[in-house]
């Protein structure tokens, strides 16, 4: 029976591999939203890191 299992698995893989070629071209609105959310997330992360670094610099300046 292992041969049958490999054939079934191979057929399932072929069906999964036969996806549409360019999903992003068919759904440009979703891609725009993903990009905007990514840019906002990166900006917020950079702001958080910047504030932490400034506080650290200020704390070190007070100690010295």
Handedness of CA 54, 55, 58, 64 (dihedral sign): negative
Q: What is the pTM of this model?
A: 0.60
Half-sphere exposure of 6 (CA within 13 A, CB side): 3
* pLDDT, tens digit, 9 for 90 and up, residues 10-56: 777 776 666 667 888 888 999 999 999 999 999 999 999 999 999 99
Q: Which of 16, 32, 13, 36 is nearest to 24 (CA)?
A: 32
Q: Which of 37, 56, 34 is nearest to 45 (CA)?
A: 37
């Amino acid at each position: 029976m292992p041969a049958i299992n490999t054939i079934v698995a191979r057929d399932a893989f072929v069906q999964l591999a036969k996806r549409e070629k360019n999903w992003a071209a068919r759904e440009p609105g979703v891609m725009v939203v993903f990009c905007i959310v990514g840019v906002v997330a990166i900006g917020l992360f950079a702001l958080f890191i910047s504030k932490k670094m400034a506080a650290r610099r200020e704390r070190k300046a007070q100690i010295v």
